Amino acid sequence: MTGPTVALAGVTKAYGRQRAIAGIDLTVMPGERVALVGHNGAGKSTLMKLILGLIRPSEGRVELLGADPAGRAAGAARMAVGFLPENIAFSPSITGAELLAFYARLKRQPVSRNAALLERVGIAEAATRRVGTYSKGMRQRLGLAQALIGRPRVLLLDEPTTGLDPALRQSFYEILDALAADGASVLLASHALAELESRVDRVVVLNRGAKVADGTLATLRRFSPVSARIRLTLADPTDAAPPAIPGSVLAWTRIGGPVWETSCPDADKLALVRRLLAAPLELADIDVITPTLDEIYAGFLRHEAAV
């Protein structure tokens, strides 16, 4: 399939007068890793439920692998989706292998493939242990194994790395990378923006049910309302005057000693650095500080509140 795996056009989901999702357009291609970010109640889980076909839109159209996921003809599409809900809880008294066998039967998949799945998520040695004895990280990996049954073409993961230590998070993302490289679309809802850096191809920012930004991290940076900062260290540590750039009026903030900072839109930073390097200044150092993903996200929300 070369078209989108997930496509939403003008989708609104209203509960009474409240719109949990408001007029969203979204397409996800095979092999794409997309993060859905937003504050509590922004609409991330509702969006996932719409894609899963658990709820129907009040307005607009949702397509999953070319079918309406809530429609009669969506059986095959639903079988090709893996879902890891937020805070998934398993019965503590059954073993990992038993649990996976149960889900494999539900999905009409051969139980014989489960051993390889447990291996893939790194809990093969605990397969015959009761889930009640698993650590949080092991339960989360078991949840991922459950979502991977049947080699899904679309994976929906709701806050999948909450509570995982950095090493486990790393291996979690490596598994997702391999799945995407294999052609699966991965959609993950997250609050942990900083850890998404270099982990996803696109970030979709939701605010009160509406999409306020959608793009690669590079695009988001470029259009971010948050400025980049440029920090200069003057060569003469006794120099107390701000850097003087002929022909330009820049607002400088003294960080300490001969270190000064100014800001500019991300798109202009290269031109400014060139001007600074060409200026008659004795420089000891120059740093370009690009906004972090958290700052960009906060900037989009502030910007949205202000317009």
Region binding ligand ATP by CB under 6 A among candidate stretches 34-42, 162-170, 172-180, 245-253: 34-42
Query: Does position 161 bind ligand ATP by CB under 6 A?
Result: no
Site for ligand ATP in 263-292 (CB under 6 A): none
CA distances from 230 to 16, 50, 250, 273 (A): 48, 43, 11, 8
Site for ligand ATP in 13-32 (CB under 6 A): 15, 20
3-state SS, the chain, equals: CCCCCEEEEEEEEEECCEEEEEEEEEEECCCCEEEEECCCCCCHHHHHHHHHCCCCCCEEEEEECCECCCCHHHHHHHHCEEEECCCCCCCCCCEHHHHHHHHHHHCCCCHHHHHHHHHHCCCHHHCCCEHHHCCHHHHHHHHHHHHCCCCCCEEEEECCCCCCCHHHHHHHHHHHHHHHHCCCEEEEEECCCHHHCCCCCEEEEEECCEEEEEECHHHHHHHCCCCEEEEEEECCCCCCCCCCCCCCCCCCEEEECCEEEEEECHHHHHHHHHHHHHCCCCEEEEEEECCCHHHHHHHHHHHHHHC
Q: Considering beta carbons, is residue 46 or 185 the nearer one to ligand ATP?
A: 46
Query: Does position 262 bind ligand ATP by CB under 6 A?
Result: no
Residue from 42, 104, 187, 192 in contact with ligand ATP (CB under 6 A): 42
Q: Considering beta carbons, is residue 210 or 250 the nearer one to ligand ATP?
A: 210
Q: Considering beta carbons, is residue 20 or 97 the nearer one to ligand ATP?
A: 20
Minimum distance of ligand ATP from residue 153's CB (angstroms):
23
The site for ligand ATP, by CB under 6 A, has a size of 10
Query: Does position 301 bind ligand ATP by CB under 6 A?
Result: no
Minimum distance of ligand ATP from residue 131's CB (angstroms):
24
Query: Does position 38 bind ligand ATP by CB under 6 A?
Result: yes
Minimum distance of ligand ATP from residue 191's CB (angstroms):
7
Query: Does position 211 bind ligand ATP by CB under 6 A?
Result: no
Closest C-alpha to 57, from 21, 13, 99: 13
Site for ligand ATP in 43-102 (CB under 6 A): 43-46
Query: Does position 40 bind ligand ATP by CB under 6 A?
Result: yes
Minimum distance of ligand ATP from residue 17's CB (angstroms):
10
Query: Does position 237 bind ligand ATP by CB under 6 A?
Result: no
Q: Considering beta carbons, is residue 145 or 189 the nearer one to ligand ATP?
A: 189
Give the integer Cα–Cα distance in Å for 127 and 124. Answer: 5
Q: Considering beta carbons, is residue 42 or 99 the nearer one to ligand ATP?
A: 42
Applying CB under 6 A, the residues found at the interface with ligand ATP are 15, 20, 38, 40-46
